[in-house]
Structure formats: structure tokens, C-alpha cells
Amino acid sequence: MFNTKLGLFVSGRKTVFKTLTDKISTNDKVVWFHTASLGEYEQGLPVLEALKKKYPNHKFVLTFFSPSGFEVKKDSAVADVITYLPLDTKANARKFIKLVHPELVVFVKYEFWPNYLAELKKQQIHTISISTIFRPSQAFFKWYGGWMRKSLHAFHHIFVQDEASQKLLKSIDYTAVTISGDTRFDRVLEILDRDNSLPFIEDFKNDKSCIVMGSSWQDDETIFVPFINAATKDCKFIIAPHNIKSQGIEKLRNIITKSTVLFSEMEHHQDLSQFDVFIIDTIGILTKVYSYATIAYVGGGMGNTGLHNTLEPAVFGIPVVIGKNYSGFKEAEDLVQLGGVLSVTSEAEFNKTMTRLLEDTDFKVATGTINHNYVQANGNVSKIIMEYLSKH
């Protein structure tokens, strides 16, 4: 009653079985695609789209565990049925799989539900896991994790992101593994092929250098707002906060001393180039905004909320700056080591890093090129998965 997200989580599952009964007949050929939330959906989308091309006469069922995925995509045309996954009980697993009767099941990244997996194995339904990553801390690799290890054998094949994951699986005698990488690389590479133009951003930028702060939280804003306030006139700033509620937006605006315009009010201004700071108080356009960036700062890493997507700006071949907490984000770990993503721990380090990137063109270009090459080198993951499926 007092938690909106939890309320959606509970209420949304009440209609799942009726929805499946109404939309899937016993004669339908079905592919079931499951993701935890919106991030995993975006991650798996290249494979889902490839499967739709491969099986044009099949119905596709897309399930989410979290409201943050389902509520955004529930009206999408990407699948024939989009619904929540009922909680992982034996009864739910039996009923769900009986109604869906899939020929192929795809789980994305971290989704391991023992009762569903047991039922899929019992019915010998072809099941794979993609873009999966394993860590020693997971139950599979602990002395008490026997029941979880057993569930892994429901997968006919697991496509992992890295060699470390393959070695961990081998240590527990699971060998049906391919190191394919992360399908998110395919997803971000698709960004380059689409129209990323935003005329109002072009008007605002006015051919000047532009730093884009994407998915920022208050911990991030604490270190970059002083830099914005002290910056010279030949640099523009775009801030896309993670929280776009009006109270948070006004709080952010009030600590910025430069002339600032909001996305929600830009229609009232004929000349956007007169402003120094553009706050994007809407969702859905950040990836296009990154295409205008000279440098990108990706939020979430200064606090403990979790680092946001560094690949989206990296694909444009620009330097990316992040906060200090990026452990567990493989692409960030890789790119920090390679030198394409620059991690800062304080306001002083942020100022020093940004100043060098703005003043040293060779360093800026070299840093961005590292990011471009890394993303390009890690693409074609979906092709590897589809080649396997064409043989099975």
C-alpha cells in the first residue's frame, strides 16, 4: 500500500495466467524470452530481434521480473505477449510453462530460477542463457550451492561474457559454454546506424565544445557543478539527471550559476545558444544527446547507486569520465585499464581530468579512440548465438 513499485510487482502478477490463456493457443509455436529489468531487456534485444527474423511464424513471449522493465515496455510491439514472470514456485512454473509451451527459452544475464529451470529440464525444452557473467561470490561456487549448481544443467548452453566466467563454470563441471561477449555491444553499435540528430541540441551547442553529464545523481553533481560554475564561455554543458522529478531538477538548477534552460521549457526560448547549461528533464533521448558530446561524464559511480551505461557514450569515440565506484562493471573495468574511461575520486581530480581533456586535443582524441576501438572489437555477439541456434 505504501510502496508503489512493490504494489506493481504484486498486482501485475495477478493477471499473468489469464493473459497467457487469452493470447496463446495450444497450436502456437512459441519462443519465450526472459529478462529481469529494463537494462537486461536492452541487453538482450539484439538477440530477440534476430530470433524474430529467424522465426517469423512464432509467437514471442517476453517476461520481466521487475516493474521497472515491464511498466516501460508493456505496450511495446517487440513481442506478442509482454508480462511479468510469476514468482518461482513449482506450481507457478508448471502452469506457466504449460500455457506458454515454448520451443526455445532465452534467459538474459543473471536470471536463474530453480523451479522454472527444473520444469524446463523435465520437459526437455531447449533453454539457453546469454550475456551471462559469473563471479566467485555466487552460490553456484560455494559449498552450500548444490541446489543452484543443479539448476544450471537445465541450460543446453550458456553464452558468457568472459573467460573468467567460463573457468568458474568449468570448476563445477559445466562445460556447455561459449565465450561470446556481451550483447550490449551489438545494441550500442546499432546506435551509430540510426538518426541521432536533435536540432534543439545543435542550436544550443552552437559549434562549441560540449560536456554531457549522463544519468547523474547528487553525489555526481557535487563534484561537477563547481566545474560548470567556474568554466569559461567557450564550453557548453548538458546534464541529464537520473531523477527528473521537478523538486530535484529545481534543486540542481539553483546551485548552477550559469544561464540554464530546461528541456521542458525550451519552447519558450527562440535562441537556445544564449544558454550555457541545458538540463534534460525528460527520458529517452540521452543516447542521442551523447552524439553531440565532446566529453561524457557517466553518473552513478561517485555514490553507491551503481554506475550507468558507459558504452552508450563510448560508441561515439569520445572520452568518458566516471566516479570511483565501478567494480563489477566489466566494460568500465576494461576501459579504465585501457585508458578510454577515466575514473575520478574527488572534485579536484574531476577538475584536473576535464581541464586536460579540454586543453589537450591529442589526449582527448587518443582517449576517445580507445573507446571506439573497444566497442567495435566486441561486437557481433548476437551472430555467435544465432549461429549456435541454427545448428540446434
d(CA 79, CA 48): 9
- Is the model's pLDDT at 338 over the cut of 70? yes
- Is the model's pLDDT at 69 over the cut of 90? no
The DSSP symbol for 274 reads: G
Same domain, 136 and 281: no
- Dihedral sign, Cα of residue 361, residue 362, residue 367, residue 369: positive
CATH number at residue 296: 3.40.50.2000
For residue 279, what are the domain limits? 192-378
Q: Give the three cell numbers for residue 112.
A: 536463474
Report the amino acid identity of residue 191: I
Task: Spell out where the chain has E strands.
Answer: 30-35, 59-64, 81-84, 104-108, 126-132, 157-160, 177-179, 209-216, 235-241, 260-262, 277-279, 295-298, 320-322, 341-343
* Full-model pTM: 0.83
Query: Is the CB of residue 224 less than 8 Å from the CB of residue 254?
Result: no
Domain count, the chain: 2
Same domain, 55 and 141: yes
Same domain, 284 and 330: yes
d(CA 311, CA 53): 26
pLDDT at position 13: 66
pLDDT tens for each residue of 257-281: 999 999 999 999 999 999 999 999 9
Does residue 190 carry a catalytic annotation?
A: no
Same domain, 26 and 67: yes
Q: Which of these, 198, 195, 188, 190, lies nearest to 240 by C-alpha position?
A: 198
**Over residues 333-350, mean pLDDT:** 97
pLDDT bracket for residue 9 (50, 70, 90):
low
pLDDT at position 233: 73
Same domain, 298 and 369: yes
Cell 568472459 identifies what position?
A: 162
Beta bridge mates, 210: 236
Return the exposure string of 247-261: e unless at least 16 CB atoms fall within 10 Å of the residue's CB, then b: ebbeebeeebeeebb
pLDDT tens for each residue of 135-155: 999 999 999 999 899 999 999
Q: Is 147 within the bounds of a domain?
A: yes
Same domain, 224 and 323: yes
pLDDT tens for each residue of 176-195: 999 999 999 999 999 999 99
Q: Is 278 within the bounds of a domain?
A: yes
Mean pLDDT of the chain: 93
Query: Residue 168: CA atoms inside 13 Å, Cβ hemisphere, count?
Result: 21
Same domain, 212 and 358: yes
d(CA 220, CA 299): 6
Same domain, 236 and 350: yes
Q: Which of these, 85, 32, 83, 93, lies nearest to 61 by C-alpha position?
A: 32
pLDDT at position 7: 57
CATH number at residue 42: 3.40.50.11720
Same domain, 147 and 217: no
pLDDT tens for each residue of 197-231: 999 999 999 999 999 999 999 999 999 999 999 99
Q: Is 238 within the bounds of a domain?
A: yes
Among 74-83, 291-300, 351-360, which stretch is predicted with the lowest mean pLDDT? 74-83
Of the three residues 181, 209, 230, the one that is the final residue of a domain is: 181
d(CA 391, CA 33): 19
Cell 550490449 identifies what position?
A: 184
d(CA 378, CA 137): 26
CB atoms within 10 A of CB 120: 23
Q: Which residues contact 366 (CB under 8 A, 6 or more apart)?
A: none
Angle between helix axes 361-377 and 330-338 (nearest 10 degrees) is 140
d(CA 81, CA 93): 17
Same domain, 174 and 217: no
d(CA 264, CA 247): 14
CB atoms within 10 A of CB 276: 21
**Over residues 238-244, mean pLDDT:** 95
Q: Is 387 within the bounds of a domain?
A: no
Which of 40, 42, 119, 221 is flagged as catalytic? 40
Beta bridge mates, 212: 238, 296
d(CA 143, CA 13): 34
